[in-house]
Amino acid sequence: MAKYGDGINYAKSIDPSSANIVDPGLLGGKVRVMQDQITIATTNLDSEGYVVVGTKLPTGSQVVQIFLSGYPLLASAPYTFLVGDEGDEDRYMTTVMLTAKAVHIGPNTQGGMYYSVTGVTDNYIRISSAGVGTVGFPTGGIIKVSVFYTVE
């Protein structure tokens, strides 16, 4: 079988120079994780509401993967969520139907893949209601989130 070609970062790594240095977050970067959970009380947030999870993402970091799950009262009906930041409410995940029996993995949007945090309006991950399906937040339960990101 003949070789078709090389990936951009592979080509740069086998022939490094000052003009083609690979971003450490893309090749050989350190993956870190922040985990959080939101306990939803009996009071519903409105359809415009959102919650901020985790801690401040370092400027220049890139989100690699997000795991999102919910239980136990989410079993009654699926709720639709977005995962993004202040600059783009669905930068990482859009229309996630969260139920008690599902774990969702993102980013599921093209803009969220390899997105570098600028530090302007995108340092904090937020989960918000998508406004479709069951609107608002559930009346009880727990939403768990894990965010894996690269930083050097």
- Evaluate the omega torsion of the peptide bond into residue 72 and state whether it is cis, within 30 degrees of 0: yes
Per-residue pLDDT at 143 = 84
Residue 145 CA: distances (Å) to CA of 13, 20, 28, 116, 140: 34, 35, 25, 20, 16
Q: What domains are defined for the chain? A: 30-151 (2.60.120)
pLDDT at 43: 56
The two tokens of residue 11 are 């080509």
Rounded CA gap, 138 and 3, in Å? 52
Query: What is the pLDDT tens value at each position of the chain, 152 positions in all?
Result: 777 777 877 777 777 777 777 776 667 778 899 999 988 765 555 556 788 898 899 998 889 999 988 776 555 667 778 899 999 999 999 888 777 777 888 888 888 888 889 999 999 999 887 765 555 566 677 888 999 998 87
pLDDT the model gives residue 118: 93
Distances (CA, A) of 40 to 12, 89, 95, 105, 150: 47, 20, 19, 21, 29
- Give the model's pLDDT for residue 42: 56
